Amino acid sequence: MKQNISHYRGTPAVIKRLTDIAKLIGNLEGVNMRHPSPKLRRKNRIQTIQASLSIEGNSLTHDQVTALIDNKSVIGPSQDILEVRNAFAVYRQLGDFDPHSVASLLKAHRVLMNGLIQTAGALRKEAIGVLRPGDRFHEAPHWHDVEPMLQSLFDYIETTEDHLLVQSCRFHYQLEYIHPFVDGNGRMGRLWQTLLLMQYHPTFEFLPIENFIKNHQKEYYRELAAGDDTGDCTGFVVLMLTLINEVLSELYTASKIIAHKRLRVLFGLLQKRNWASTA
């Protein structure tokens, strides 16, 4: 089947960011941060959920999302509360989804949109459009084309020689372009990129990339719109690799602080032992 996906160019900016990310992953391995601590994983997961939903207009705050995840009562719009519960459920099941399976994508969408739309877990059967920044209207492909275009996208990640990081970005962009669902497309694009990134390194399961997207929301939608206009998603790939590099840099900075504290504790214990042995 023809891989009918948007064009991409391996520019020097892409190559530089791939190199920087690989270096940061190596640094994190060096400070034993392959798997973040449970406390950090929880913090990042909450940030991920709150940010991804906030991008789509969810009104709940970080504290409210935290309370819901702790099974506490929260006062707020019932739809916003259900969005959080569903998002928590789908991120908790990340390891159960197959990033190369259309059926798995539909299963994740069913969990994410359960009770929010009638077509949760099903491809759209109607026309749909998206208003991008600058009042630029993106008319999604005809619904008859959604299934074959989605299959082409999954064929791409099965057969491409693109770097896995680039694959994840191109998949994210293309899913937003196809807009295969009536609702939840943005959430699914970000979720599936995380799932693909987990194949590159397990640290990505708990990195709050969505929080960085939220902080660069204008650029995020601008690059989606630029891709719509040109048929070239290189700008979007560069932006996403830049954000991945930023979130890894932040994690590495935090991990160095943690490692330094551990070394101070260890050094203190060794000093006490030395003093005791010479007393």
Q: Residue 275: inside a domain, yes or no?
A: no
CA distance 196 to 201: 9
Q: Residue 96: inside a domain, yes or no?
A: yes
CA distance 278 to 274: 6
pLDDT greater than 80 at residue 276: no
pLDDT confidence bin for 176, thresholds 50/70/90: very high
DSSP string, 148-174: HHHHHHHHHHHH--S-HHHHHHHHHHH
- Structure confidence by residue, pLDDT tens digits, 226-256: 999 899 999 999 999 999 999 999 888 877 6
Element (H, E) at 137: strand 136-139
pLDDT confidence bin for 274, thresholds 50/70/90: low
First-to-final CA distance of the chain: 78
pLDDT greater than 90 at residue 200: yes
Q: How many Cβ atoms from other residues are within 10 Å of residue 219's Cβ?
A: 16
Q: Alpha-carbon Rg of the chain, whole angstroms? A: 21
Q: Residue 279: inside a domain, yes or no?
A: no
Name which residue leads in pLDDT, 54 or 259.
54
Q: Which CATH number covers residue 56?
A: 1.10.3290.10
- Structure confidence by residue, pLDDT tens digits, 186-197: 999 999 999 999
Name which residue leads in pLDDT, 266 or 210.
210
Task: Indicate the Cα dihedral angle 74, 76, 79, 85, nearest 10°.
Answer: -20
Angstrom distances, CA of residue 107 to CA of 90, 119, 156, 187, 212: 9, 12, 20, 14, 26
Burial class (CB in 10 A: 0-12, 13-18, 19+), 199: middle
CA distance 237 to 13: 10
Q: Residue 274: inside a domain, yes or no?
A: no
pLDDT confidence bin for 59, thresholds 50/70/90: very high
* CA of residue 221 relative to chain centroid, distance: 15
Output the pLDDT for position 263.
41
- The pair of three-digit structure tokens given for residue 18, joined into one six-digit string: 């791939």
Number of domains forming the structure of the chain:
1
203 with 35: CB under 8 angstroms? yes
Q: Residues of the chain with pLDDT > 90: what percent? A: 72
Q: Residue 75: inside a domain, yes or no?
A: yes
CA distance 247 to 40: 13
- The pair of three-digit structure tokens given for residue 222, joined into one six-digit string: 């601008």
pLDDT greater than 90 at residue 103: yes
Q: Residue 6: inside a domain, yes or no?
A: no
Residue 20 belongs to what domain range? 12-268
pLDDT confidence bin for 265, thresholds 50/70/90: very low
Q: Residue 277: inside a domain, yes or no?
A: no
